[in-house]
Amino acid sequence: MTTAVERETVLDVRDLVKHFPVRQGALRRTVGLLKAVDGVSLELRRGETLGIVGESGCGKSTLAKLLTAHERPTSGRVTVLGRSLHDLRGGELRRARRHVQLIFQDPYTSLDPRMTVAATVREPYDVNPDLAPRGDRDRLVRELLEAVGLNPDHGGRYPHELSGGQRQRVGIARALALRPEVLVCDEPVSALDVSVQAQIVNLLEELRERFSLAYVFIAHDLSVVRHLADRVAVMYLGKVVETGSEAEVYESAAHPYTRALLSAAPVPDPAARGTRQEIVLDGEPPSPVDPPSGCSFHPRCFMAEDGCARSAPVLEPVAGAGHLVSCHLARHPGGDGP
């Protein structure tokens, strides 16, 4: 993980919202809204990794698509190196999107089976000819394959001839071809074997240092996120409910949802398992089409009180200025939390 020093902000997200219309009937009338992302604000500095965690359906993958301009927001703003992605069109948008690239979850479907490895990694240069002269592109492809731990001889192979880990390395090389400042990693190791996961995580760490990259790292596995992340944001039902440094979130979790996630994470040390309090949440996450009133987590919360159903909490400092939590019952400075 990187050290806590002041660095340039490369990605700034303010009040980001993405609502999808829910349509029914032969006339496809809009009968509701699916609130996939509902007011998210984040900041990422150069060389930093921000981990995003939460259950399936909390909005993590939609957020990844918004950050890379694969989806347009309902409202809010994504600013990359001082430029708002969603204010741009055509060639300006294509050039701006070079700075923030997406690594997909599934290495088996993210590559075109008709293209060789070399053609896949070379394609960004062919689409953006100003990035490199034609005569340099084959050399750059070989260098990228070596950078991600592949033999340049793999360039003549097709995706079906590679293992899952090798395919994910090809996807990383392809993203690096555009020389991005930010990589948005959407569950990049969840489809891989455990031993291969460790290799890819170590590779990402090496590449971050080598190319001065910043990562938004989305994952279910909290141990993977802790290994990589400088800061962590916990999402629930389209909102960030807690955010802070890796140590603040993992060692001093304030939101009951964060505490429940941590209690369910595997513990490698058998001696520590018996000392950990396990928290089992009731039921499934509510539908983002019809979220609960007040705090969206209150129907499943083991700490909930009557007031939690009446008003929605906002992100506020819980200890230091950088540790924020959205919970009526958390300990805020000067407050009366438990």
Q: What is the pLDDT of residues 71-89, one digit of tens each?
A: 999 999 999 999 999 888 8
Per residue, the 3-state secondary structure of 110-134, as one string, reads: CCCCCCCHHHHHHHHHHHCHHHCCH
Q: pLDDT band for position 335 (50/70/90)?
A: very low
With contact defined as beta carbons under 8 Å apart, do 189 and 224 qualify? yes
pLDDT at 274 over 90: no
With contact defined as beta carbons under 8 Å apart, do 10 and 78 qualify? no
pLDDT at site 267:
63
Alpha carbon distance 193, 21 (integer Å): 37
Alpha carbon distance 176, 213 (integer Å): 10
Domain boundaries, the chain: 9-99+180-253
pLDDT at site 221:
81
pLDDT at 337 over 50: no
Alpha carbon distance 45, 322 (integer Å): 14
Alpha carbon distance 269, 253 (integer Å): 20
13-53 per-position pLDDT tens digit? 999 999 999 998 888 888 899 999 999 999 999 999 999 99
Task: Classify strands 75-80 and 231-236 as parallel, antiparallel or unpaired.
Answer: unpaired
pLDDT at site 4:
46
Per DSSP, the three-state class of 204 is: helix
Alpha carbon distance 242, 317 (integer Å): 10
Cβ neighbours of residue 231 under 8 Å, at least 6 residues apart?
Answer: 48, 49, 50, 51, 243, 244, 245, 246, 322
Torsion sign across C-alpha atoms 143, 198, 171, 234: negative
284-325 per-position pLDDT tens digit? 889 999 999 999 999 999 999 989 999 999 999 987 678 999
Higher pLDDT, 243 or 319: 243
Alpha carbon distance 291, 296 (integer Å): 6
139-171 per-position pLDDT tens digit? 999 999 999 999 999 999 999 999 999 999 999
Single-letter amino acid, residue 43: E
pLDDT at site 211:
93
Single-letter amino acid, residue 136: D
pLDDT at site 320:
67
What are the C-alpha distances in Å from 228 to residues 51, 204, 260, 306? 8, 9, 21, 38
Residue ranges of E strands in the chain: 9-24, 29-45, 49-53, 75-80, 83-84, 100-103, 182-186, 214-218, 231-236, 239-245, 316-317, 324-325
Q: Is domain 9-99+180-253 given the CATH code 3.40.50.720 in the classification? A: no
Q: pLDDT band for position 334 (50/70/90)?
A: very low
Task: Classify strands 100-103 and 316-317 as parallel, antiparallel or unpaired.
Answer: unpaired
Task: Classify strands 214-218 and 182-186 as parallel, antiparallel or unpaired.
Answer: parallel
Q: How many Å separate Cα 44 from the centre of its chain?
A: 11
Per DSSP, the three-state class of 29 is: strand
95-125 per-position pLDDT tens digit? 888 999 999 988 888 899 999 999 999 999 9
51 torsion bin: left (phi>0), alpha (psi -120 to 50), beta (else): beta
Compute the average pLDDT of residues 210-216.
95
pLDDT at site 338:
42
Q: What is the mean pLDDT of the chain?
A: 90
Percentage above 90 pLDDT, the chain: 71
pLDDT at 216 over 50: yes
